[in-house]
Structure 1
């Protein structure tokens, strides 16, 4: 059951976080991206669940016909609500496709979220929801839309996921890096696509490839044309750095799994305030530092409570990030990771604290272990300006191969591959 004094606490949290408002008041607009539409909706996860602890790190990608993708999220309210889910088939650029619901679903496009659990002994009460996605008939990009009751306009969250048919094979040819001064800052993947097992009409015009680094969409690369075309093969080799990724650095991290005995990179935890507040050690820029190898989780996070062990007892804390800079830079600075879907907006932007002369940002986060980094949004600076770029950095890459059949009003995902560059061997 919810912790004692929930009515008073709920009123307190409503003032802090914002009360629920009607869809007429909110003016909610459907976004074809990972997003939450109410302040109370927190810690949204979508991943292929096979029962292993590391599943939460996996990209929300699965095969046609499977039913492993699992949605989890918290709602910071005192009583559970009736939430429903619908799925929208999208093109490769995340615009809605022309497919009808019957083209990609076996059932009516309305699914109830019926599994939920109340938090216990937490300063901020919440309800944890879990939903297993239904199987789909067709490959491609999908947008999951969760909404309240029967009002599809009263959206609470949207989440992207990808379903593929492995109709083509993808072969990695090389990963060139570290050979020149530019390549020391970059990473690239050369590969080829073999489509001997599928009939493709005009593949040069109808095949598009998307590359993604560490499950981020803000710097994803779309490739329109192969470098070489030969019998039943498309080869993608890059010579002018046109499809390179900035290599970045290993992610920063902090350990907030215990509030009684704060973990690494936590300066202090104030348990006397409601909700509790955690202070991350003050960071500095790493652009001029030498590369330091250590294991990270490529921007991910996981929820864990080492004080009591119960997942429903993991509390929420206001978590303060601080960055010390000698002088301002041209652009805005954002603290991002999978914890906030790499959003480069006002919720992740750092502001100058005149008292301490540091740049700060505070986010409401659940107990756990987190990766994060500082990204610069600027017309003149690389987004990894404050972190540095090193070709030795371990990064996860994904290759998505889309095909637009002439007789179908949508893009299909006909191939998928995932690899880790500079993978650490334990």
Structure 2
């Protein structure tokens, strides 16, 4: 027992630290832009809050990755002008909030870190013990090719009402690609969720300076449904989809319950594809003056899912299965209930189920429909014979438009 105790203490401390970090964002400065896939040279800002509010020292570290997110062969000096690891020095405390916190932010590139190569990057935040407390992915790309993307209703009769098909073309007039099967890799992303992607695709047609990817079924995605949403821009007063507010040390916001319907039909509801925006209308600076509220979620269902757990799911937890977002079934009330501490803002969310084999399904509760308005991103990686790293030579975007 004496041998394992220090390890257990370190694990517990690391887990506690990560749980106290909230509102993690990695985004450019453009308004209404939630993407961490940007052209090389565009400034991204990483920001997060530490609810311990004790002014800890955090560092960030940047690593260049391959197209499949393994560590690349490049040395840091080959992709960064400056340092790949630095202390985050922009630190401010919350002001006039019930929940105290410390706000951290850093912009990349900055005077100490200038990234010189396109590609996949892993941004890690480390604590004072050099433990990684969280990571975020971002992609820097070159405009060396033009990527055209088309999204349509599935052509498969079995999934015509539930799936969407993505087709795309890569035009590379200024690049000589000798062997696309070996030199080019592509990744399809749905709503910039790295857990919903398609890889290992080969061109279906070769033309001079052009690659076509026109699969019938291999590039099909479940359409899913539009995300649910709420707005907590007022901490003391009800806003969108809030049914009541209770104060107990901090504010508790109870959202309108969602009723499970196995025969649900599609209804258009504009969303921001699972993303969130920190904002408050009761102060000037949402970074340090927006408060935190305990958000309460309810999902009515006559019986619990068999051998499946239910989680609250969205970009606010990086589209990951988070035990803090797990819902518990109340047999007396015939509902799943869960709560998450979230900073004031506008949030998209949905419900995800997880079975005994850790399979995540976001369609069990809300259904899947070909009409759903999703955003698809095509990333094109190029590594010529003898090359050292995967360049991102182009990015394309496609949207399903049911009215075309």
TM-score in terms of structure 2 length: 0.89
1:284 is matched with 259
| Alpha carbons of structure 1 residues 28 and 60: separation in structure 2 relative to 1, 3 Å | farther
2:3 is matched with none
- Could you tell me how far apart the structure 2 residues matched to 1:224 and 1:178 are? 19
What's the CA shift for 1:233? 2.0
- Could you tell me how far apart the structure 2 residues matched to 1:140 and 1:352 are? 43
Instruction: Give deviations 1:310-352, integer Å, cap 9, x for gaps.
Output: 4122111221211111223242222101111111243333221
Instruction: Give deviations 1:125-182, integer Å, cap 9, x for gaps.
Output: 0111121012311111101112234x4x322321110011122221235534488451
1:183 is matched with 160
| Alpha carbons of structure 1 residues 113 and 364: separation in structure 2 relative to 1, 3 Å | same
- Could you tell me how far apart the structure 2 residues matched to 1:355 and 1:309 are? 44
For the Cα contact (< 8 Å) 1:178–1:184, is it kept in 2? no
Secondary structure of the structure 2 residue equivalent to 1:417: strand
| Alpha carbons of structure 1 residues 335 and 173: separation in structure 2 relative to 1, 3 Å | closer
Q: How does 1:175-254 map to 2 (within 5 A)?
A: 175-177=152-154, 180=157, 182-239=159-216, 241-254=217-230
- Could you tell me how far apart the structure 2 residues matched to 1:172 and 1:343 are? 27
1:25 is matched with 9
Instruction: Tell me whether 1:46 sits opposite 2:23 in the alignment.
Output: no
- Could you tell me how far apart the structure 1 residues matched to 2:277 and 2:262 are? 27
TM-score in terms of structure 1 length: 0.84
| Alpha carbons of structure 1 residues 73 and 382: separation in structure 2 relative to 1, 3 Å | closer
1:256 is matched with 232
Of 282, 293, 296, which aligns to 2:268? 293
What's the CA shift for 1:82? 2.7
For the Cα contact (< 8 Å) 2:226–2:268, is it kept in 1? yes
- Could you tell me how far apart the structure 1 residues matched to 2:8 and 2:387 are? 36
Q: How does 1:331-342 map to 2 (within 5 A)?
A: 331-342=308-319
Runs of at least 5 residues in structure 2 that lack an aligned partner in the other structure: 1-5
For the Cα contact (< 8 Å) 1:280–1:321, is it kept in 2? yes
Secondary structure of the structure 2 residue equivalent to 1:339: helix
For the Cα contact (< 8 Å) 1:260–1:307, is it kept in 2? no
Instruction: Give deviations 1:163-209, integer Å, cap 9, x for gaps.
Output: 11122221235534488451221111111112221123421122111
For these two proteins, the number of residue pairs brought into alignment is 391
For the Cα contact (< 8 Å) 1:36–1:157, is it kept in 2? no
- Could you tell me how far apart the structure 1 residues matched to 2:348 and 2:76 are? 38
| Alpha carbons of structure 1 residues 28 and 63: separation in structure 2 relative to 1, 3 Å | farther
| Alpha carbons of structure 1 residues 39 and 353: separation in structure 2 relative to 1, 3 Å | same
- Could you tell me how far apart the structure 1 residues matched to 2:226 and 2:385 are? 43
| Alpha carbons of structure 1 residues 226 and 178: separation in structure 2 relative to 1, 3 Å | closer
Report which stretch shifted further, 249-258 or 176-185.
176-185
Q: Over aligned residues, Cα RMSD in angstroms?
A: 2.7
For the Cα contact (< 8 Å) 2:154–2:164, is it kept in 1? yes
1:395 is matched with 374
Q: How does 1:232-381 map to 2 (within 5 A)?
A: 232-239=209-216, 241-271=217-247, 273-311=248-286, 312-330=288-306, 331-378=308-355
- Could you tell me how far apart the structure 2 residues matched to 1:108 and 1:284 are? 51
| Alpha carbons of structure 1 residues 147 and 195: separation in structure 2 relative to 1, 3 Å | same
Instruction: Give deviations 1:290-329, integer Å, cap 9, x for gaps.
Output: 2111211111111112234541221112212111112232
Structure (1/2) with the larger strand percentage? 2
For the Cα contact (< 8 Å) 1:246–1:389, is it kept in 2? yes
